[in-house]
Amino acid sequence: MATRDGDALERAEKLLARLPGLGPRSARRVLLHLLKHRERVLAPLLAALRDVEAALVACPQCNNLDIEVPCRICTDPRRDPTLLCVVADVADLWALDRARLFPGRYHVLGGLLSALDGVGPDQLDVAGLLARLEGVAEVVLAMNATLEGQTTAFHVAERLRATGVRVSQLAHGVPVGGELDHLDDGTLAQALRLRRPV
Ligand code: ZN
């Protein structure tokens, strides 16, 4: 019993530590606070998170997860409609968007090509991307600097070539093997600023 509880605590702490703005130390502080105030803080927070999870829907335009359809990024009139940033997962979208690093809108592919995991082109929403290029001047490919990320970026760039839209890719700043989700805002901002044509 003690071991299992210990594992649950450890798991919660690790998950909290992965939240934006939290490191291992602050995650421990947050967890302790939640445990100390179970009735007043932890229970209502869990209920709110469950409600969010139940209300969450995939945006039919960009595949982002939100509680509104289309998502609030797609309907935000302050965003530049000529810029489209392609990411693998919702986590990457949120990482790029949490500091408003990208002024345009997004398209979530739903994964990365991977022979190992059996993910082929048909499993990625490239068709949805190709269908929403009207009025778009530049597509920014923001993939992880991993083999899968770069293979996927290459594949998407090839599919975009015939459309004539300008395609660029994150450049310096994303370390080899780096996952966008784990980069700090400064590194992400630099990678976007220094994007290069494909
Ligand atoms: Zn959307």
Model pLDDT, residue 185? 77
Which has more confidence, 171 or 11? 11
Query: What's the whole-number average pLDDT of the chain?
Result: 89
Q: Determine the Cα–Cα distance for residues 142 and 130; give it in Å rounded to an integer.
A: 16
Q: For residue 67, report the distance from its CA to the centre of ligand 1, in Å.
A: 11
Least confident segment among 27-41, 73-87, 105-119, 144-158: 144-158
* Prediction pTM value: 0.69
- Joined together, the tokens standing for residue 13 give 């702490």
Q: For residue 102, report the distance from its CA to the centre of ligand 1, in Å.
A: 14
Q: For residue 131, report the distance from its CA to the centre of ligand 1, in Å.
A: 14
Contact 129, 163 (CB under 8 A): no
Instruction: Give the range of the structural domain holding residue 15, as residue numbers without chain letter.
Output: 2-55
Q: What percent of the chain has pLDDT over 70?
A: 92
Arithmetic mean of pLDDT, 158-174? 85
Q: For residue 123, report the distance from its CA to the centre of ligand 1, in Å.
A: 19
Q: For residue 125, report the distance from its CA to the centre of ligand 1, in Å.
A: 13
Distances (CA, A) of 182 to 21, 47, 73, 145, 198: 11, 28, 22, 12, 24
Q: For residue 171, report the distance from its CA to the centre of ligand 1, in Å.
A: 25
| Same domain membership, residue 36 and residue 110 | no
Q: What is the pLDDT of residues 35-71, one digit of tens each?
A: 999 999 999 999 999 998 888 999 999 999 998 999 9
- The domain tally of the chain equals 2
Q: For residue 194, report the distance from its CA to the centre of ligand 1, in Å.
A: 25
Distances (CA, A) of 127 to 58, 65, 71, 140, 156: 16, 19, 19, 16, 10
The CATH number of the domain where 50 resides is what? Answer: 1.10.8
Distances (CA, A) of 110 to 52, 72, 130, 138: 20, 19, 15, 20
Contacts of 115 (CB under 8 A, 6+ apart): none
Please say if the pLDDT value at position 93 is more than 90.
yes
| Same domain membership, residue 51 and residue 117 | no
| Same domain membership, residue 114 and residue 41 | no
Model pLDDT, residue 1? 43
